[in-house]
Chains A and B, each alone.
Chain A
């Protein structure tokens, strides 16, 4: 419940203060958001499996974000930033889908 409240608070704060993205961070923010979504889906699955551990959640959340951003940064340095961003988004998308599928199987037995 507190997680959902926190999500809502973040959205409201974002809507209220109109943050501008610094240009250096502009390529990484979308990837970081997708990586965080992946961590969230994994955490939800772990909750249902009874394996949720806050330390694991924090570490996976932060490492997901950092690694995804780093891959994009590396891609930019190598001149394949756009392609690597696409690759990261595809991989994270697949993981989100499989995690959501596992959650669905737990909850609905389907």
Chain B
């Protein structure tokens, strides 16, 4: 076959005329049962057959047409990618576990805080409370019951384990105070700055039996009321509600010691 780069001589037939190459082509293509035509036809058939086979092979096969080295490289890429992905998977699982444990801790902390808030709300008197307890009414027909007698009753209730108390619709807290005062010349009893008048109604949540025993100690709280000419009326209640709440005092001097 001719070298592609060497200049080809003009066909010997008719140089220079425009139609000559086409005529040459037509002459060559004209069906003649010559040997050269048959051989060219056979080789062309071989080429067409091979080309179609290869096209089908390429279209049909995915990996079977690849060489060994290509397959090895492909496998290598896949395993690299798989290990990358599994490492990523591990990292994400770690992260998930961490997040879950953080969430669990946060939830536990929130639960504990809520429980503490509940307990301390009852202790500080900032939450209404309910439960079994006693209602104690103290009548004072003689007008000689003093603040110290009432304070004695409050102390006795505390000693007996009363968990929430109120007197004359005032919630009793750790800061509650009772004092003798006067209003318009008349002696009155003040509790937390509010004047109260008989009958004084104590409500206390706690074990009723213990509270009654404690109050009735000879020479105790109720005895001092009786000595002052007062009478009393103690009733147990299965369920008692104390609705009054105390205001949270604002602390001017004290602040919690920071945790180390």
Interface string of A28-67 (1 = CB under 8 A from B): 0110110011011011011111111110111011000000
Q: What is the distance, in angstroms, from B4's C-beta to the closest C-beta of chain A?
A: 4
Known A1-B29, A11-B52; judge A52-B43 contact (CB<8 A). Answer: no
Interface string of B115-143 (1 = CB under 8 A from A): 00000000000000000000000000000
- Judging by beta carbons under 8 Å apart, are A49 and B48 in contact? no
Place the interface of chain A in its size category.
Answer: 35 or more
Known A6-B42, A6-B48; judge A1-B30 contact (CB<8 A). Answer: yes
Query: CB < 8 Å: which of B11, B12, B39, B45 contacts A57?
Result: B39
Query: CB < 8 Å: which of A1, A13, A30, A61 contacts B43?
Result: A61
- Judging by beta carbons under 8 Å apart, are B4 and A54 in contact? no
Q: What is the distance, in angstroms, from B26's C-beta to the closest C-beta of chain A?
A: 9
* Cβ of A82 under 8 Å from chain B: yes
- Judging by beta carbons under 8 Å apart, are B2 and A39 in contact? no
Question: Which A residues form the contact surface with B (CB < 8 A)?
Answer: 1-11, 13-15, 18-21, 23, 26-27, 29-30, 32-33, 36-37, 39-40, 42-43, 45-54, 56-58, 60-61, 76, 79, 81-82, 94-95, 98-99, 102, 106-107, 109
Place the interface of chain B in its size category.
Answer: 35 or more
- Judging by beta carbons under 8 Å apart, are B50 and A43 in contact? no
Known A6-B41, A48-B21, A102-B8; judge A32-B36 contact (CB<8 A). Answer: no
- Judging by beta carbons under 8 Å apart, are A107 and B39 in contact? no
Q: How far is the CA of A19 from the CA of B64 in the complex (A)?
A: 15
Known A11-B51, A102-B8; judge A40-B44 contact (CB<8 A). Answer: yes
16 more contacts with CB within 8 A, not counting A14-B51, A29-B50, A48-B24, are A1-B37, A2-B37, A6-B41, A6-B42, A9-B41, A10-B44, A10-B45, A11-B49, A23-B64, A26-B64, A37-B51, A39-B1, A57-B40, A58-B43, A81-B69, A102-B4
